[in-house]
């Protein structure tokens, strides 16, 4: 009874991954973005007490070369939690050649995409030589700090000028 309640409450789902065989050139043609980079952060989703091999993991890369599409120096990609659901299981600190698809505002990769640890000659999969990634957009937090600093400095300057006027009024 207890085992049944636990398995019901923790509902573990089993899936299997199978990929249609493709050449590297076919995988590159299907990808919206292909880049080389090193994993810097892996964030698991907050799912409570239930886990699924399909839970989307968020992986942050430090990108050093882009072969197709557009990527910034810091680039986020998602993949299913486990290879059982075709998720690519990345490791922090390792370098990868990532083949990904863009779906709305998400960039996704999987075991079937062509992504691999290490690198490969882009010409071997019909890709051009790589180029540098775009610069990251400034964060809104940084912009807020800059605006607050400028506002504080302006307020201090106005306050000092106003105080200077009050003390320079001639006496009777």
Residue 162 lies in a domain: yes
Please check whether residues 49 and 82 belong to one and the same domain: yes
Concatenate the DSSP letters of all residues of the chain into one string.
-HHHHHHHHT--B----------HHHHHHH-SEEEEEEEEEEE----TT--BTTPEEEEEEEEEEEEES--BSEEEEEEESSGGGT-----TT-EEEEEEEEETTEEE--TTTT-EES---GGGGT-PPPBPPBPPPPPHHHHHHHHHHHHHHHHHHHHHHHHHHHHTSPP-
Please check whether residues 79 and 110 belong to one and the same domain: yes
Region 117-137 average pLDDT: 93
The C-alpha atoms of residue 11 and residue 29 are separated, in whole angstroms, by: 37
Range of the domain at 102: 15-125
Q: Is the model's pTM score more than 0.85?
A: no
Residue 54 lies in a domain: yes
Residue 5 lies in a domain: no
The fraction of the chain above a pLDDT of 70, given in percent, is: 72
Please check whether residues 82 and 103 belong to one and the same domain: yes
Which pLDDT score, from 0 to 100, does residue 3 have? 47
Residue 7 lies in a domain: no
Residue 95 lies in a domain: yes
Q: Left (φ > 0), alpha (ψ -120 to 50) or beta: where does 45 sit? A: beta
- pLDDT of residue 7 exceeding 50, the answer is no
Residue 1 lies in a domain: no
- Contact by Cβ (8 Å): 84, 17: yes
Please check whether residues 52 and 111 belong to one and the same domain: yes
Residue 4 lies in a domain: no
Total number of residues shown for the chain: 172
Bridge partners, 107 (sequence order): 102
Please check whether residues 31 and 73 belong to one and the same domain: yes
Residue 10 lies in a domain: no
Please check whether residues 146 and 120 belong to one and the same domain: no
Please check whether residues 110 and 64 belong to one and the same domain: yes
Please check whether residues 141 and 114 belong to one and the same domain: no
Mean pLDDT of all residues belonging to the chain:
82
Name the domain count of the chain: 2
């Amino acid at each position: 009874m207890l085992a049944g309640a636990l398995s019901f409450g923790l509902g573990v789902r089993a899936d299997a991954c199978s990929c249609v065989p493709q050449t590297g050139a076919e995988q590159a043609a299907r990808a919206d973005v292909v880049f080389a980079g090193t994993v810097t952060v892996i964030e698991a989703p907050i799912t409570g007490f239930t886990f699924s091999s399909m839970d989307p993991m968020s992986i942050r890369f430090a990108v050093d070369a882009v072969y197709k599409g557009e990527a910034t120096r810091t680039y986020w990609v998602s993949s299913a939690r486990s290879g059982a659901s075709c998720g690519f299981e990345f490791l922090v600190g390792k370098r990868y050649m990532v083949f990904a698809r863009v779906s709305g505002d998400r960039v996704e990769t999987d075991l079937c995409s062509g992504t691999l640890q290490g690198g490969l000659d882009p010409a071997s999969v019909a890709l051009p030589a790589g180029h540098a990634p775009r610069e990251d957009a400034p964060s809104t937090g940084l912009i807020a700090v800059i605006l607050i600093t400028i506002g504080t400095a302006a307020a201090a300057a106005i306050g000092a000028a106003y105080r200077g006027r009050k003390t320079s009024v001639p006496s009777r």
